[in-house]
Amino acid sequence: MQIKSKLRKEMKVRRAEISDKSKKDKLISDIFLNSDLYKNCRLLLCYSSYGSEISTTRIISAAFADGKAVAFPLCLDSCGNMEFYFVASFNDLNRGMYGILEPNTDKCCKITDYSDALCLVPGLCFDLKGFRLGYGKGYYDRFLEKFTIKTAGLCYNELIQNSLPIDKYDVSVDYIITQTGIITL
């Protein structure tokens, strides 16, 4: 765990120092939105980007405009448990745990059917096997171990690693979308 903690600090610094972020974010969004992966998904499980993460705003806006079912995670506790809720617009989101936008449960319905879903998974960096370095709470690993869902991570090329330290709880993604293309794993 100490290795991962040290690597998290390093990757946060490296990600914050990436140049031309808005240009690269647009390229990543365009590649994803023009992919069959996006076009064929019925339900997009996404997250609201935070801090120096790759912006998900264009992707989410396009999904709303394209009539996709869109869902956001709600962190239930500090033990790493979360659920996804349908969201009709950005107005259905509130600042939640960790200051990240989450669904307003008074307006949004919990998802029970994840068939044909594609889950965008956040991460500081990813490796060539699809494993990621998250933020250390295990929310996505716990969620993804329960369901068979297509998964994709958004990542700058500069942060793709040959390999990352993993443990038995880590869940890999199926695809990594970068500013130069899609890596299928």
Residue 172 has pLDDT above 80, yes or no: yes
Q: Residue 136: pLDDT above 90?
A: no
Please report the pLDDT score of residue 21 as a whole number. 96
Predicted local distance difference test score (pLDDT) of residue 1: 62
All domains of the chain, ordered by start, with CATH? 2-184 (3.40.50.10420)
**Consecutive H or E run containing 82:** strand 82-86
Q: Per-residue b/e over 122-132, b at no fewer than 16 CB within 10 Å? A: bbbbbbeebbb
Range in 108-112, 135-139, 167-171 the model is least confident about: 135-139
Q: Please state, in angstroms and rounded to a whole number, the distance separating the CA atoms of residues 177 and 157.
A: 9
Q: What is the DSSP-derived secondary structure letter of residue 9? A: H
Question: Interhelix angle for 21-33 vs 57-65, to 10°?
Answer: 30
**What pLDDT band is residue 170 in, cutting at 50, 70 and 90?**
very high
- Nearest-angstrom CA–CA distance, 134 and 122: 7
Q: How much is the mean pLDDT over the chain?
A: 95
The fraction of the chain above a pLDDT of 70, given in percent, is 99
Band the pLDDT of 179: cuts 50, 70, 90: very high
What average pLDDT does this structure show over 37-60?
96
